Amino acid sequence: MKNSTIWAGTLAEPLEAAPLEYVGFWARVAAALIDTVMLLVVTAPLSFLVYGSVMGPGGLAFRGAADLLIQWALPAAIIILLWSRLQATPGKLVVGARIVDADSGEAPSTAQLLIRYVGYFVSSIPLGLGLLWVGIDRRKQGWHDKMANTVVIRRSNKEPVAFQPTRIS
């Protein structure tokens, strides 16, 4: 494992020196909400510039080829780029999380990141069961993480339990 990692533009503490934990369900939900807002801030104005509105008539979500680029290709490119550069999205950075290879703890490969992104759709299709899996899995992996062999970790902020020796009088 590398001695240190560049993370969010700063030299991060080596992983070996920091207690780590798997990031659980609710922290990941918070991160996903932040990321959704970030993507809306980028895609909604573009849809408005191209079509004169964010949604089509009658609430249609898909209006043409530009929508493929704005609603599908652009978010995929942004997310995968952020994952490859920072090992995180803005939401994950807020909760102190990053994505790593489940075996080595190193940055995931580009292939892993692509599989992980596609895995989000697989995880969502059966009523979101693959996303909810984070809440019951021992390593807090959703199906997308299992498919890509990744885990989401952060430095542990939990105080270790320590006892003071008792004095015998």
Please check whether residue 6 lies inside any domain of the structure.
no
Say how many domains are in the chain: 1
What is the tens place of the pLDDT at every residue in 23-53? 999 999 999 999 999 999 999 999 889 888 7
Q: Is residue 167 part of a domain?
A: no
Q: Which helix (H) or strand (E) holds 90?
A: helix 90-94
Residue 100 exposed, middle or buried by CB count within 10 Å (0-12, 13-18, 19+): buried
Classify residue 142: in a domain, yes or no.
Answer: yes
Residue 91 lies in a domain: yes
Domain around 134: 19-155
Task: Report residue 146 as tokens.
Answer: 């299992």
Residue 67 in domain: yes
Distance (Å, whole) CA 118 – CA 126: 14
pLDDT digits (tens, 9 = 90+) for 7-23: 444 444 455 567 899 99
